[in-house]
């Protein structure tokens, strides 16, 4: 089965206990990755780009966001070094009974598709691709926020590591911008991972808007407009028929 890596700060015992209990109940093997804090995370980036972060988010970064991104990046690097796909999870989740089945399905798909999300969302949009192993595979046309649970291939992990030597955005914003690493994001529905009540007490605090000059406001508006056009163009380039053909052929061979 797809290797599962659970990101957890050692001091967050309640989160670790709740997360591991759920995984154990489903019979899912996992490895705990000791999350990096802000100071440790800084050392993994060539530069902390405060100006770039404000342009992309409208606010200052927090130390927790540096540590969070660095933790995901470390697992992307592991994915590349081992040349094996991973399932990456943060520790504030609630699992549906079908989770282990979704992990198995993602394991069959991820090397071909690159990035598959198992977490629910509210503001994303997706289009149906095909039924698969009791789930509906869909491709996002508007990618959602959050990085609670996703499967990633070595190819996509390699691109992300190469693109992000510097820290200039939260990790979920980086994954949202699929056109930058030229790989669509997919999901399996119904979703089998959601945020638990512990997510409301986030370890990443201090996300407050900061004052911006008229010039910076204009540059931010232009950047967001550019993103919208890049997303539209990227979606127009996508074709899903090859996915159905490839996996139908695999089933016939099997």
pLDDT at residue 203 is higher than 80: no
Cα–Cα distance, 51 to 60 (Å, whole number): 9
H or E stretch including 36? none
pLDDT at 219: 87
Which residue range(s) make up the domain with 86?
A: 4-253
Domain tally for the chain?
1
pLDDT at residue 253 is higher than 50: no
How many angstroms separate the Cα of 69 from the Cα of each of 40, 42, 212, 250?
A: 11, 10, 25, 36
Cα–Cα distance, 86 to 123 (Å, whole number): 25
pLDDT digits (tens, 9 = 90+) for 152-195: 999 999 999 999 999 999 999 999 999 999 999 999 999 999 99
Domain harbouring 70, CATH code: 3.90.550
pLDDT digits (tens, 9 = 90+) for 45-93: 999 999 999 999 989 999 999 999 999 999 999 999 999 999 999 999 9
pLDDT at 197: 79
pLDDT digits (tens, 9 = 90+) for 1-27: 899 999 999 899 999 999 999 999 999
H or E stretch including 84? none
**Peptide bond before residue 190 is cis, with ω within 30 degrees of 0:** yes
Cα–Cα distance, 105 to 101 (Å, whole number): 6
Using N-to-C axis directions, what is the helix angle for 154-163 and 63-82, rounded to 10°?
130
Would you call 34 helix, strand, or coil by DSSP?
Answer: strand
């Amino acid at each position: 089965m797809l290797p599962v890596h659970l990101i957890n700060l050692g001091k967050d015992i309640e989160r670790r206990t709740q997360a591991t209990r759920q995984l154990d109940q489903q019979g899912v093997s996992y490895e705990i990755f000791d999350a990096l804090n802000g100071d440790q995370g800084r050392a993994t980036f060539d530069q902390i780009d405060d100006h770039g972060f404000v342009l992309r988010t409208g606010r200052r970064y927090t130390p927790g966001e540096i540590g969070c991104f660095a933790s995901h990046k470390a697992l992307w690097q592991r994915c590349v070094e081992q040349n094996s796909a991973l399932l990456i999870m943060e520790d504030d989740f609630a699992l549906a009974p079908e989770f282990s089945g979704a992990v198995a399905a993602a394991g069959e798909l991820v090397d071909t598709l690159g990035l598959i999300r198992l977490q629910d969302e509210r503001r994303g949009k997706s289009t149906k691709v095909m039924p698969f192993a009791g789930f509906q595979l869909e491709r996002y046309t508007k990618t959602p926020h959050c990085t609670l649970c996703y499967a990633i291939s070595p190819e996509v992990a390699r691109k992300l590591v190469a693109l992000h030597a510097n820290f200039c955005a939260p990790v979920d914003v980086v994954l949202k911008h699929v056109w930058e690493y030229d790989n669509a994001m997919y999901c399996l529905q119904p979703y089998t991972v959601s945020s638990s009540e512990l997510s409301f007490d986030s370890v990443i605090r201090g996300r407050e808007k900061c004052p911006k000059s008229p010039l910076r406001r204009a540059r931010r508006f232009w950047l967001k407009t550019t993103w919208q056009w890049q997303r539209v163009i990227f979606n127009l380039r996508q074709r899903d028929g090859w996915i159905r053909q490839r996996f139908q052929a695999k089933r016939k061979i099997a």
